Chain A
């Protein structure tokens, strides 16, 4: 009897969510934090086992008639995404420690939903069965829907509905492909199977493979919001609490790019190379459009949402360069973006909590009254614009290098996005933090960052700097996934991978 470690990992936060159904009242936050930290510890133990070479894959029949399995597996990409998830969850809980009740929507409900979301996200990243993945992919929408709709701004019900309908629309298009996979696995294998390992061996007819791939891709494009289906993101982040936005942008949206690599490239290699030019073009549009929209934003939360649209463009670009540097960079980008956007959202959340408004125009001169908070914003912002020394620099550079090796002009256009990033971050910082102290700010900013707030930002900044100086900590884990993916797709690098030019 082997221990199902991966199942247990997802079960820990689920049990936590279940425990929070009890009337624990004041203890809810502590209980939630306990389970979030316990999950993090469990994830670290599992990381140790995985890196130690233990086989963690699990496979139990679930719907045998339809070839669906409870199959979990952990690869390099899955591992970093799980670590990102378990790291951000306690940070979010700490950041939202002071959340106030909105009617029945108590902090207890918030904590329970966050833990439920953590559990479902972990299973999404671990699923090694297409139907299982689809199930959790869609199931994550439910807690997120209630997180957006229950806590936040006055338009939150509308924002929640918009988020859900966009995601459901994408998800249902993917469902067509999931159904199609059943039909074709049945025809080609003789027995239906949803196991990723079985499906990767199939050679689909070219047309069918392309159609099915498009189904998956639509869902992932909506999820990793790319222009033109990104409009739900700014609305959602504007209306929800910063903690929710972190979970949404930092973790959930990553399922989009994660899915592109694991499912689009993994199941339909031919179709993925076929669609690459379109995806590169869309990525470039997202990079530039997101950056320009961020410059034009008057609302801090919308601004961060648009920077994310731009960053997701980089991630997608990296994937569809089909180079070692590009794909590794893209996966690394997912991690870094998770931490740096979390830092941005949470610091901005602290500012908004004091000022009572998220409009850029309502700030000014904060640096003078709250220097620590201003410093935090600067750090988070610099990470967002990929300053060397920050981890995001490494990944952005890798994506560009990958793009350059395929088509230099693509890299050149993408580089424009980096320039614009400097504009939107520094402009935001300048307009909110520097200059004369406005009346509103002087009145409302009675205290600088509290101890709790420092503890929220500290781990994020620590990770950003650590990975900035020692990127190989993460890249070493990511590299095998990249190599596997590339050899599966059957492409080789046009130039030697980074760091191996001389060999």
Chain B
């Protein structure tokens, strides 16, 4: 029996986030109600900044390797994903803290446990209660995402998956307005999410049965030297794929996405739409490339079919939406499809081709992430007397009410649509080259058709904002920097990634390496 090793410094970015979350829980208990919100907000932002500092320190000192008894892999991809998760986490958690927009209260329920409309709830509202637990919850979830994306064995991956998901189920049910819808979203997400976890767990068991190992390298070895027939392996990987694709929100496991995205408080939706997707895609890619790379001929065609289906179904359903949050939800489904297009492109880990594929995936998610964080923040700002005015008709004439905000949102839409000179275009183009390079030229054609339909979806929003008569009773709320900074960052980053993608692409390509 060897003594367990634990690389404290190398794992510090995750540990700091976890410690910040724990500290947040303690503060909930000791601080008076009135002080909590501000302190939690500062603690959260501080935690993320310190975690970034540690990540940068590790990066500078060049630390890398399999950590914590080979449970977590700190490789190039991990650096990229952790850095993006911390940045997007910071931006979306800033929106959590917005209170100016909503007349001094946060977007979260006063008392989520009370029955909607009950006297208990009214009492909590009157007493100005607020659920400041959202901050530690989000931090826990973020720590789970970081481990999930870096996990090098299935047990770690599963535990991280649960750490990531459980706080999200809670967060989804916290909306201040439209409580019932929010609770419905939380329950739906929880039930379907646990079902997906069960699939994942079952798949893990079968793969362990086949290879005798939970570790990705061991599974790879098992494929090279098979003892049993491949039935166990294939069934196991299909079941695991179900679990992973559910988290990504790929068709046919996408049905929860629109309901949950609409029901959850908008800041939480922004957080889920980018951070969960990023972590889940990273985990999927790592599992399929590192553990199942040798079995690629079996899974690539399936993944290609899922990608094609996800893109087409996503854009077609987005086409019919009249609610901006639902539209963005279906758009996020279709973007999952575009990312999966690149996943099919590559083959084994660490060949030149797979480097391009992974770089394409990461770049696409960066471009998508900046646009997503900012666009959900914009959604929180367009309001009527009842709260957020998410119906598309309310967005009519926004360009006249607030040209700057509408202009920023137009940039984000153009980036989603993949129009040149935005990051979205470079991302799409990278993804397409990766897929064609991997021999999937038909998938590129499907993706192009989907892009065209998608363009119409986003242009519809631009038309509503700029070329329609102003909607009555809708105003652009007066937001604080906590909302405005993410919006500005997202819009500027979308343009920057479109004009000067060279350095970012070089960086991402250089770091698209997995350890085994």
Contact = CB atoms under 8 A, between A and B. Distances in A.
Q: Which of A142, A157, A183 has the most CB of B within 10 A?
A: A183
Contacts of B456: 161, 165
Nearest to B504: A63
Interface string B424-445: 0110011011001100010011
Given A138-B419, A161-B459, A176-B448, A104 B429 contact: no
A435 to B, nearest CB: 39
Interface stretch (B214-222, B326-334, B460-468): B460-468
Interface range for B:
35 or more
Interface string A125-166: 000000100111111011000100110000011001100110
Interface in A57-85: 61-66
B437 A183 contact: yes
B452 interface: yes
Interface string B392-410: 0000000110010000000
B444 A179 contact: yes
Given A150-B467, A186-B437, A142 B432 contact: no
A7 to B, nearest CB: 13
Contacts of A131: 429
A135 B506 CA distance: 20
Interface in A174-205: 175-176, 178-180, 182-183, 186
B400 A138 contact: no
B396 to A, nearest CB: 11
Contacts of A137: 420
B433 A175 contact: no
A180 B436 contact: yes
B284 interface: no
Given A104-B400, A176-B444, A183 B509 contact: no
A66 B433 contact: yes
B466 A146 contact: yes
A172 interface: yes
A103 B400 contact: yes
A455 B399 CA distance: 35
A161 B457 CA distance: 11
B501 interface: yes
B448 A175 contact: yes
A168 interface: yes
B421 A135 contact: yes
B466 to A, nearest CB: 7
A173 interface: yes
Contact of B452 (A63, A65, A169, A178): A169
A385 B400 CA distance: 44
Contacts of B426: 63
B451 interface: yes
B444 A142 contact: no
Contacts of B506: 64-65
B318 to A, nearest CB: 16
Given A161-B459, A176-B445, A63 B505 contact: yes
A61 B500 CA distance: 11
A60 to B, nearest CB: 10
A76 to B, nearest CB: 27
B502 A61 contact: yes
Contacts of A180: 436, 441
Contacts of A149: 463, 466-467
B414 interface: yes
A179 B509 contact: no
Contact of A172 (B421, B436, B448, B466): B448
B455 interface: yes
Contact of A62 (B359, B425, B502): B502
A337 B445 CA distance: 35
B142 to A, nearest CB: 30
Interface string A32-55: 000000000000000000000000
7 contacts: A66-B430, A104-B400, A149-B467, A165-B456, A168-B455, A176-B432, A183-B436
Given A135-B420, A176-B448, A183-B437, 20 more contacts: A63-B502, A64-B502, A65-B502, A65-B505, A104-B400, A139-B419, A149-B463, A149-B467, A150-B466, A161-B463, A165-B456, A168-B452, A172-B451, A178-B429, A179-B433, A180-B436, A180-B441, A182-B436, A183-B433, A186-B437
* Pairs A-B, 8 closest by C-beta atoms: A157-B467, A138-B420, A135-B420, A179-B432, A63-B502, A172-B448, A104-B400, A183-B436
